[in-house]
A and B are shown apart, each in its own frame.
Chain A
């Protein structure tokens, strides 16, 4: 039966290469060159899926990227599975597997179809109105709504394909390779412009490449044979690169465009191994020529969505390009001349046309007369009022239109058909133009939006610019390109056009019905099931802005972004509201023009390439010694070193105890290091830190706190004076880049008079910190020549030293409260010096510890971690660190903010220590702190910022911020948790060695 839908045809289909594929588990055959849609149509299949809301049967409507209905799940049940693929764009290959979406249990019998019967109670805004109340029920509703409405299935396993990103720079980018695009590419390339021509289809030439009509001719040749010669010529041009299967996804300002080049989707799966699937092209073009053509408009009438109803241009393309007849008994329905071209294509192949219904009273172009001559009945001034047939159209009824086109009159005539081709005229594809920031204008005569004001060096040509007749397209393309490219045209000096079509059109946005509107279902947005009734309801309910109507009715919000129906929605709104079309503007067309896969967007930035990892020079040692790692900014830092069966808690407890009992060693290489030089270096530090720096002697170290101009703590670290005009500053690991940026900002913009130079030297040095009562003995073994006596090398001082022949800097500074040394050595010696420390410390049970133990040890001492205990809302006063804020200095960054009315409030959140009533109970970081749990609502006083079990104190300790906490020492507070309330007492934040005796103990 299906065989006689395929006609011997063109060079576009390779009838020698038969291809088998599966749709809904059944095997079918097509030919190389077919799309999934054309192959299914050749097999007599129109019904592809169910609609989103009413689950109505839907079929193939178009032949391109504008398709709203024929969206399928590709590669079902495989790692490559992809939802929402347009069957009209899939080129078939051996082994293709596809299935319907939006239906359960099958496309022919769908449970959700009951929504169609319930549709009177499912109007626009139904979900908003019904399910939002009571709010607490939303979660339950949502589950069922999502289950029945979902758009396809996402893959469950990683994408096996490879994607990449490419940058392209060109003089001229031409988008679209129809007649005007081909002409533009030739004119640009031949005049010395480096040109790129892209088209989303697998062939060049657009819809003219398969047009052999006698009624559209260029230089007395059919458009297809004229174009073939042109394409042949441009494919040899050196200046021109041509990319097919490449669709522009986004057109941004400054002629920056994103395109998706599809490289393997048309190949059998076994030929895709190790090939890039999609390439995301990032194109910078000096000039852009948009030749994206136009999209045929459907007509809006009752039941205009049945399978078997297609755009007339799609029927023409299926027969001309693929040799596939969409039906054996066709009816065409139009308000313009377009369908007569389709009719001629069908007539030439002897395919039956039962009738043509034309809204217009007068039809008088050459092509119409020719169709009439073939004994085709044309109902002039008529309109389709209804259609019949559940899974496929089988009948229509038509009535005469009144003079004003607002009603239908006379008798109803029924006509049988298995395919209805509709044409409501053409809509310029201005999506990319508006994405780029262009402004549209409305052309009254034929009710189209066309480009008006360009936002960059670009031009729209051909039918996307509103030129619909062949003559206009060719003539205007030549004349506007001469101007745009500033060239003398020698390519198309003499060009003769013959056209048998008129441009007359009888535009009626919503065709009248003999039923009341409430009883009709005339779809404006097919994919989202938005009807003209819904739009009118939205207006009745008071919506006026097109953007609001869009969201309320979901018109244009599907994966097709309403490429077919948006204009009708606007038309119906302006007719109903009694306003002018141009006044509403259009809805915003957002990128991407057609959906992109996530793979295309991320390109090669997957897995380990997702983000950069920075590793310290000692990293390999940590790996070899079983370290667990944590990410700190981009750094991989050793977190803890579990032994045998230890869990994290056990490892951290052991490490923390060992560091205080004997010796611990930490890789601190990630700390930011900024080398500061210049005669004004001391003055500079005075201005950026809260404390005073001028009097710091060479060879000494000092802890500094840096604020933002608003007085909030920004960063901290120890800075060492290496020489008269030379300092090395350390910053937090995560803050390094920002601190350098901030310092550069002040230097360049506020204090350019200062003689100061900053360099980031974080990566230049490995930093090894050895702490604990035995640290001195260990360092004396590692660097025997260094005098470690307290007199020569006291706490907070620095020495240049040598390990073997290698120079290093040793600081006696401490972040644990223990006697400790920090060795800074050229990065590539880091690992060997670390190993030397381990070797020398063996007899003292030197224990490597990670960031978790470091955090625990400093918490015992009440030392803050910027970013953990602070969050850009705490001043040094809030942190009880008044001691570090110089009263004498006239100014420093943030000083003035420390006595704003807000920052001097007594009830600000302040840092305190917290001790649990039960010493074994460890608080959760982030837990809320309250005083009174009886009062409702409970007032939140603050939260826990750091919390650990201290093995050295044998109890739980925590830091937190509490409103007015400074004056609450000893007060009882409550931490309410899910199942219990934990009692805590406010304490001094320094828990261990309050007097700091261990730092200066005689070792």
Chain B
């Protein structure tokens, strides 16, 4: 169980949070204009990296805010935490 530093509340235990999958996947503005393949790409395809991964997390049992983290999935080290809409800090 790792610790996550919520950008609004500070460091809290992982059990307070909910993982929300890969970050920086933007919902297409005009879905109707996409082909089946393009839509499927948005809908289903997610990366599953061993190493540095950009992820969405939600402080579900806290402030309920969504934010992004950069996590090394091989050792659970969290490299950065940043708010929704912010650009990821450069590695």
Interface residues of A (CB under 8 A from B): 252-254, 256, 437, 455, 709-710, 741, 744-745, 748-750, 752, 890-891, 895-897, 900-901
Contact = CB atoms under 8 A, between A and B. Distances in A.
Nearest to B26: A750
17 contacts: A252-B1, A253-B1, A253-B2, A253-B76, A254-B1, A709-B27, A741-B58, A744-B64, A745-B20, A748-B65, A749-B56, A749-B84, A897-B39, A897-B43, A900-B36, A900-B39, A901-B36
A433 to B, nearest CB: 15
Nearest to B27: A750
Nearest to A746: B27
The 6 closest A-B pairs by CB, nearest first: A896-B31, A254-B2, A748-B66, A750-B27, A256-B1, A253-B76
Interface in B1-37: 1-3, 18, 20, 26-27, 30-32, 34, 36
Contacts of A891: 30-32
Nearest to B2: A254
B89 interface: no
A901 B3 CA distance: 43
A896 B64 contact: no
A896 B27 CA distance: 12
A741 B60 contact: yes
B75 interface: yes
Nearest to A893: B27
B82 to A, nearest CB: 13
Contact of A748 (B3, B34, B60, B84): B84
A895 B31 contact: yes
Interface in B40-56: 40, 43, 56
A253 B75 contact: yes
Given A253-B2, A891-B32, A709 B84 contact: no
Given A748-B84, A895-B31, A254 B76 contact: yes
Contacts of A745: 20, 58, 66
A256 B13 CA distance: 10
A715 B60 CA distance: 20
Interface of B: 1-3, 18, 20, 26-27, 30-32, 34, 36, 39-40, 43, 56, 58, 60, 64-66, 75-76, 84-85
Contact of B32 (A750, A890, A901): A890
Given A253-B1, A437-B75, A897-B43, 19 more contacts: A253-B2, A254-B1, A256-B1, A256-B2, A455-B75, A709-B27, A710-B43, A744-B58, A744-B64, A745-B58, A748-B66, A750-B26, A750-B27, A752-B85, A890-B32, A891-B31, A891-B32, A895-B31, A900-B36
A678 B85 CA distance: 21
Nearest to B29: A891
Nearest to B40: A900
Contacts of B30: 891
A156 B47 CA distance: 48
B3 to A, nearest CB: 5
Contacts of B75: 253, 437, 455
Nearest to A758: B64
A256 B36 CA distance: 46
Contacts of A896: 31-32, 34, 39
Contacts of A741: 18, 58, 60
Nearest to A253: B76
Contacts of A709: 27, 43
A352 B26 CA distance: 80
B61 to A, nearest CB: 11
Contacts of B18: 741
Nearest to B83: A748
A202 B84 CA distance: 52
Contacts of A437: 75
B40 to A, nearest CB: 7
A749 B27 CA distance: 10
Contacts of B27: 709, 750
Q: In the complex, which of the residues A254, A749, A900 has the most CB atoms of chain B within 10 Å of its own CB atom?
A: A749
Q: In the complex, which of the residues A254, A709, A752 has the most CB atoms of chain B within 10 Å of its own CB atom?
A: A254
Contacts of B66: 744-745, 748-749
B41 to A, nearest CB: 12
A254 B32 contact: no
Contacts of B65: 748
Contacts of A252: 1
A629 B26 CA distance: 44
Contacts of B39: 896-897, 900
Contacts of B58: 741, 744-745
A710 B58 CA distance: 21
Contacts of A750: 26-27
A776 B84 CA distance: 50
A749 B64 CA distance: 12
Contacts of B36: 900-901
Contacts of A749: 56, 66, 84
A747 to B, nearest CB: 9
Contacts of A901: 36
Contacts of A897: 39, 43
A752 B85 CA distance: 9
B26 to A, nearest CB: 8
B10 to A, nearest CB: 14
Contacts of B26: 750
Nearest to B44: A710
A744 B58 CA distance: 10
A345 B54 CA distance: 61
A745 B84 CA distance: 11
A256 B26 CA distance: 35
A254 B3 contact: yes
B2 to A, nearest CB: 5
Contacts of B85: 752
A474 B65 CA distance: 50
A900 B85 CA distance: 30
Nearest to B20: A745
Given A745-B58, A890-B32, A896-B31, A752 B76 contact: no
A822 B52 CA distance: 52
Contacts of A253: 1-2, 75-76
Nearest to B4: A254
A616 B43 CA distance: 39
Contacts of B60: 741
A816 to B, nearest CB: 35
A539 B66 CA distance: 52
A252 B27 CA distance: 36
Nearest to B60: A741
Contacts of A455: 75
A709 B31 CA distance: 11
Contact of B84 (A752, A890, A900): A752
B33 to A, nearest CB: 9
Nearest to A750: B27
A487 B72 CA distance: 31
B88 to A, nearest CB: 15
Nearest to B78: A254
B44 to A, nearest CB: 8
A912 B2 CA distance: 48
A349 B84 CA distance: 74
Contact of A895 (B2, B3, B32, B43): B32
A177 B26 CA distance: 54
A745 B60 CA distance: 11
Contacts of A748: 65-66, 84
A665 to B, nearest CB: 35
A20 to B, nearest CB: 45
A437 B60 CA distance: 28
A709 B26 CA distance: 13
Contacts of B64: 744
Nearest to B39: A896
B59 to A, nearest CB: 11
B50 to A, nearest CB: 14
Nearest to B30: A891
A900 B43 CA distance: 11
A896 B37 CA distance: 12
B45 to A, nearest CB: 13
